Amino acid sequence: MKILVTGGAGFIGSNYLHYVVNKYEEDFYVCLDALTYAGNYENLKPIADKKNFKFVKGDITDKELVEKLFDEEKFDAVINFAAESHVDNSIKNPSIFLTTNIIGTQTLMDACRRHDVKRYHQVSTDEVYGDLPLDRTDLLFTENNPIHTSSPYSASKASADLLVLAYCRTFNFPATISRCSNNYGAYQFPEKLIPVVISKALNDEPIPVYGKGENVRDWIHVHDHNVGVDLILRNGKIGEVYNLGGHSERTNLDVVKTILKQLNKPESLITFVTDRPGHDLRYAIDSSKVEKELGWERTYNFEDGIKETIDWYVSNQDWINNIKTGKYKESYKA
């Protein structure tokens, strides 16, 4: 197969490409990424010279570029990782989230329809479900939960999901959707909780924690997430939504303390700051559907996964420093 992977220079997308480019040498992967601030070509250096990989710089909202690429490459499948994803940024500037996450999705699907692409997969988030109460640990998000968004980011992702499902019904469009919990692992842009804490702790800087740090997230290792995405692309039922969760719920404060403990840093670095507007209380995913139907299994528990992740950031501080200095923006030469 020839597969287009959009947003492949980002955190989850680059990890996906590392996995599949090496696993499926008979398939060919084209990465389309606009290399906006969170897209980092350095993430793709380990596979840049592989014979079954090609990188194209471009925006999924650019209809002319997308059409030309589809016409040249004759894709069999498309996986859309491309998205603006930082909640705080969506609160400050919602418009770019609506453009990339909704219009970009439409642009890709319209190109797929014109070129008779056989499979399209939309990578989404558990944030489209809203949140769960902290005192009801028995409640989990299932695929049947209603959409109930809290931020411009989650609203834009939910809108894209609804558009994908509408295309399935109206046009018999061959699409699937996955909704994952919070990812962690190597190559995560240092604006998200775990890399922020690691980076600041290594430099003995104050670590900001929203509110009291009581908000709960379900953490999934990026590799397990990507194995699930690949399974759904190849074997998922068209028109279906699949949840991918880590079964590793932790409060934000617990995650911070876990990182500090491994790095032998004092908890006195923790600084509680004003809570995020509309901050979701708790996420927790029921993944039983994808487990039963497709045989997906997690290989990481949080304790082992976070240790491996911390070790990677400690061993790759140049990667973080290149982002802090802006040098990473020079990593791609056309």
Catalytic sites, residue numbers = 126-127, 153
Pairing assessment for the beta strands 216-221 and 249-251 based on DSSP bridges? antiparallel
- From residue 42, how far is each of 31, 48, 128, 221, 303 by CA, in Å? 13, 9, 30, 20, 27
- Determine the angle formed by the axes of helices 317-325 and 193-202, rounding to 10 degrees: 100
- From residue 313, how far is each of 202, 309, 316 by CA, in Å? 10, 6, 5
- Which residues are paired to 53 by β-bridges? 29
**308-311 long-range Cβ contacts below 8 angstroms, 24+ apart:** 308/185, 309/184, 309/185, 309/186, 309/194, 309/221, 310/198, 310/259, 310/262, 310/263
